[in-house]
Structure 1
Amino acid sequence: MHPIFLGGIMNGSGNKPPWSLPAKANLGRLELQRAIRYWKVEPFSMPNFFPILTILPQRALTYIKHTYPSTQFENTFGLYWQWFLYKHRDISKPDVLRELLSSPEAGFSREQTEEILTAAMTDKRWKEALTAKTQEALDRGAFGAPFFWVVKTDDTDADVDVDGQGKVVGEEPFFGSDRFHQMWEYLGLPFEDIKLLPRAEAKL
């Protein structure tokens, strides 16, 4: 997972947010309820201040990704969604982000929280890192999120090593949260596909 600035992706690709078109917005609300039922998560709704400017939280996440263990990075990423969608807290605000990072769930000390915020707000390195990762996504063809760049490797040929995984034999982009089965198929991974059951066994 790589933090990116979604606004930069939309502007750079010439795309528009789905909620800016009434027909897409209406369908999006219906699809949200379907996804909540399918994935069996607690119902949530978009806060009344949606959308937000995500530059500060994404710079903070960029710093965390490069400075702390991956478990803390992934945990913080999850907390962003929880605070935004369930608690309806505007994590783009420094005081709210400070409260999130210093919460027991995040696991950062008060000193670490201030270190992260200072880096996100004042250090040019993390501003440039977020900009570079956003541009990389655009260069690979991203026009929104979630956008996946899937790399197929051949473990038997290590002429070109990619993080110890073997030689790259193929790379392709995938877009959307409903493309995992296509990614698994592309990688040649075994998986159970969706199938219809006899009516007597149908899921209620």
Structure 2
Amino acid sequence: MGGKIECYLDVVSPYSYYALLYLEKNREVLKSHDVDIEIIPVFLGGINVGSGNKPPWTLPAKAKYSTYDSERAKKYFGVPGIKTPSFFPILSLPPQRALTYIRAHHASLLIPAFLTLFSAMWIDGHDISKPDLLAQALSVHFSPNETKAILEGASQQQYKQELSAKTQEALDRGAFGCPWFWVTNAAGVGEPFFGSDRFHFMWEFLGLPWKAVELLPSGQAKAKI
């Protein structure tokens, strides 16, 4: 076995939140199979433009369906408190550039910071595209001086370019949304996967043991997720 999962995420996408939660839930099991996880901040707006995709809320049929799918996903991934904030969507460049800086200088805190920013926006309803609210969220993990350095770094050309480069990398790998995954198996073969509900296909591609969804006969207790 063995392999690698490269996961491209943006805080503006709740399904990116679900994907990160699920990967973290299974991190130790994946590690036991020698599968590494790499989390990569990207700019979803750039992916949409570059791929020609349109956000689901701009298409009436997708928007209508999303009201059902969102409730199902919140229940499945165990985050019932998620709600779409009144200011949605945001221009996610500021938080994504900040996360790009964190990835370069505080790699061990990238995932905790990502999860905190997701929670700040999607559960607490804070507009993390605004510097003061972004700083408030980051202060959970970083000192005042570190937070200041992160925000200053996020405005530097180096990290703007790095975020742009990773967004283009995702596009070059076929991305049209987030979460986007590039999964490489033990043979060195890579394939793309999209969305927070394709993990069973990833496990199959990686050659990992997994259990399929099973429908129970009448009278048996409902299985817990």
User: What's the TM-score, normalizing by structure 1?
Assistant: 0.87
| TM superposition shift of 1:78 | 0.3
> Highest relative contact order (Cα 8 Å, sep 6+), 1 or 2?
2
Q: Which residue of 2 aligns with 1:138?
A: 171
Trace 1:30-179 onto structure 2 (pairs within 5 A): 30-70=68-108, 72-102=109-139, 106-121=140-155, 123-154=156-187, 168=188, 170-179=189-198
Question: Could you report, residue by residue, the CA deviation over 1:156-189 in whole angstroms, capped at 9, with x for unpaired residues?
Answer: xxxxxxxxxxxx2x11001111100000001110
Matched, 1:196 2:215: yes
Number of equivalent positions: 185
Q: CA separation in 1, counterparts of 2:86 and 2:185?
A: 41
Structure whose alpha-carbon radius of gyration is higher: 1
Question: Could you report, residue by residue, the CA deviation over 1:85-142 in whole angstroms, capped at 9, with x for unpaired residues?
Answer: 111100001111111112xxx3200000000000002x11101000000000001100
Q: CA separation in 1, counterparts of 2:77 and 2:95?
A: 26
Q: CA separation in 2, counterparts of 1:148 and 1:199?
A: 37
Q: CA separation in 1, counterparts of 2:219 and 2:81?
A: 29
Matched to 1:141, the amino acid is G
Matched, 1:18 2:18: no
Q: CA separation in 2, counterparts of 1:69 and 1:58?
A: 14
C-alpha RMSD of matched pairs (Å): 1.2
User: What's the TM-score, normalizing by structure 2?
Assistant: 0.80
Secondary structure at 2:40 match in 1: coil
Question: Where in structure 2 are there 5+ consecutive unaligned residues?
Answer: 1-38
Q: CA separation in 1, counterparts of 2:198 and 2:185?
A: 16
